[in-house]
Amino acid sequence: MKKILCPVFTLLVILAATAQGNNYVQDYTKYPDLAMTPPMGWNSWNKFACNVDEDMIKQMADAMVSSGMKDAGYTYINIDDCWHGDRDEKGFLSPDPKRFPNGMKAVADYVHSKGLKLGIYSDAGSQTCGGRPGSRGYEFQDALTYASWGIDYLKYDWCNTEGLKAEGAYKTMTAALKRAGRPIVLSICEWGNDEPWKWGQNVGHLWRTTGDIYNCFDCIKDHGSWKAFGVMQILDKQEGLRRYAGPGHWNDPDMLEVGNGALTAGEDRAHFTMWAMLAAPLIAGNDLRSMTKETIEVLTNKEVIAINQDKLGIQGFKVSAEDGLEIWAKPLQGGDWAIAFLNRNTTAKKIDFNWATQKVYDNVNTLDAAFGTTTYKIKNLWDKKDKGTATTKKAFKAEVPAHDIITLRLSKTK
């Protein structure tokens, strides 16, 4: 008996080892356990477009620390398009030697020395949107290069992708990153064209849901062959997507325009709060080296950030919309809720929110705020004042200025 079992056992061991060791079997699933709350960081594109270089990136890392943003939870310094130089004769890519004279690893080392992480940008097509080398046909080689530089986050764009299908193209890059062996967040940036929320959950950690954001509160910028969207237009395009978001896989309504000058203080607050309510990535897009006190206050409001970073990872929803006043809710851990009153009008709007009659119910997660029977303490997260208790006897009355927001955290009392 022993004589028969032994060779069979040996054969099984060999077969199992070969199966695991096949180097032609790809793993098309993203790196696990990354971005378990929405990623927070900074990206160069909204403010600087193609003007990126080593000094500026290092200064942004310094500013992220000195401004208090790092303490507030921001981690990623992401270099967007145009960092690229050429490929060598073997296809290996280097950064532009004029912009990054010490190479990308030196930048990563610097960013890491500040306790931060470095992100980079590429494209699934032959060229990036800015006409730099794309990764099509070089996916595994580029992923190895990024890993060797110490990259932590890849935004992967969708220009010049003639004939490619999005899901397959993104799966190729996710397999390449997996094979490279470094935990790198994959940010899918195909603008929502092919409904990435339907296939992206195991492929990437976040996916853009729309075209590019434009630096205005309520407008559309027509570039001819494509359009860019203001904060309110992007917000409206999130309809119906919340059930696809959760820890490790987020809807991405694009990077923030907070502090970029076109929005008023109230609009900056409303934009930031709504991205927090949407459980969206909080990727600042302004010059961190020269922020006003107001911009820092918005970007580092820890209680609003806590709504965004809540461990449940539930994307908020619109409770009602009437005459340009929208009420939004987001369930939080411990039975708490965030409630936001967004005024889209150009004039102030009064609110009279009756806790007894207002139904706030999350039908995706079957969670009921049950204001009639549950008692909550109320805190206003922008004026930072306690506003008593949500009881059936007293309505919440306030005035929301034009293009502004009132944001409450309701904490369940024991």
Tell me how far apart the alpha carbons of residues 228 and 141 are, in angstroms, rounded to a whole number.
33
Least spacing, CB of residue 71 vs ligand GLA, in Å: 27
252 belongs to the catalytic site: no
Least distance in Å: CB of 264 to ligand GLA?
24
Strand partners, 123: 157
CB 81 within 8 A of CB 99: no
Distance CA 99, CA 80 (A): 13
CB-CB contact of 194 with 161 (8 Å): no
Say which DSSP state 391 is in: B
Backbone φ/ψ region at 350: left (φ over 0), alpha (ψ -120 to 50), beta? beta
Positive or negative, the CA dihedral 400, 67, 300, 190 is: positive
Give the three-state DSSP class for 247: coil
Among 80, 123, 212, 362, the active-site one is 212
Nearer to ligand GLA, 43 or 343 (CB): 43
Closest distance of CB 189 from ligand GLA, Å? 5
Q: Known catalytic residue: 142? A: no
| Backbone angles phi and psi of 73, in degrees to 5 | 120, -5
- Lay out the sheet containing 76-78: strands in order across: 250-252, 206-208, 185-188, 153-157, 117-123, 76-78, 40-43, 282-284
d(C-alpha 189, C-alpha 211), whole Å: 9
Closest approach of Cβ 198 to ligand GLA, in Å? 20
- Cα–Cα distance between 313 and 247 in angstroms, integer? 5
Which of 192, 331 has the CB closer to ligand GLA?
192
Catalytically annotated residue among 157, 254, 362, 404 = 157
Write the CB contacts of 95 (distance below 8 Å, at least 6 apart in sequence).
Answer: 83, 84, 85, 103, 104
Closest separation between CB of residue 129 and ligand GLA, Å? 3
Output the smallest distance, CB 160 to ligand GLA, in A: 11
Binding site for ligand GLA (CB under 6 A): 45, 80-81, 128-130, 157, 189, 212
For ligand GLA, the closer of residues 128 and 161 by Cβ is 128
Residue with CB nearest ligand GLA?
Answer: 129
CA–CA separation, 83 vs 88, rounded Å? 16
Q: How far is the CB of 287 from ligand GLA (least distance, A)?
A: 17
The nearer residue to ligand GLA, 143 or 189, going by C-beta atoms, is 189
Measured from the CB atom, is 129 or 206 closer to ligand GLA? 129
Termini Cα distance of the chain: 66
DSSP 3-state of 105: helix
Per-residue tokens: 349:
């709007």
- Is 47 or 70 the residue whose CB approaches ligand GLA more closely? 47
Q: Which is closer to ligand GLA, CB of 80 or CB of 139? A: 80
Residues annotated as catalytic are 157, 212
